[in-house]
Amino acid sequence: MNTLLSSVLLAIFAMAAAPGALATSVNGRASNFSSTCTKISFNSANNSLTATCELSGNTGTETTTIPLNACVGNDNGELAAGSNFSTSCGNISFSGVTLSATCENPTGNLIHTSIDLNSVLSNNNGVLHCGV
């Protein structure tokens, strides 16, 4: 009898705990794309980024690709929000969520620079977008 009661109580506690655990995995974090996107990959052939991102309301995911030249520019030798960074930057690499490159500044000097793509990209209901 006591064993049966314990089992029932354990089952009730387990059911009560589950919704709380699920609730913490959803949205309200969309401005930081890396917190709601997975499989983030960089294609060096065309400087594009592909990621699988959560839809609003935890209704699934979508995989999209965005050309980083639409979101990232060369601002006086530093990677920054803007466009067409690849026309004046070389040695382009990607790690985690950080894009790195060697960019030319207005006086012709080459500067090694990096940018956290969370500062220029967002997850807009599953779709990668420029801007945060």
Ligand X SMILES: *[C@@H]1O[C@H](CO)[C@@H](O)[C@H](O)[C@H]1NC(C)=O
How far apart are CB 6 and ligand X at their closest, in Å?
38
Q: Measured from the CB atom, is 55 or 111 closer to ligand X?
A: 111
Q: Measured from the CB atom, is 76 or 93 closer to ligand X?
A: 93
Distance in angstroms (rounded) separating the CA atoms of residues 30 and 132: 9
Q: Measured from the CB atom, is 32 or 56 closer to ligand X?
A: 32
Site of interaction with ligand X (CB under 6 A): 32, 34-35, 43, 45-46, 48, 65, 67, 83-84, 91, 93, 100, 102, 112, 116, 118
Following DSSP, what letter does each residue of 20-62 receive, concatenated? Answer: HHHHTTSSS-TTSHHHHEEEEEEETTTTEEEEEEEPGGG--EE
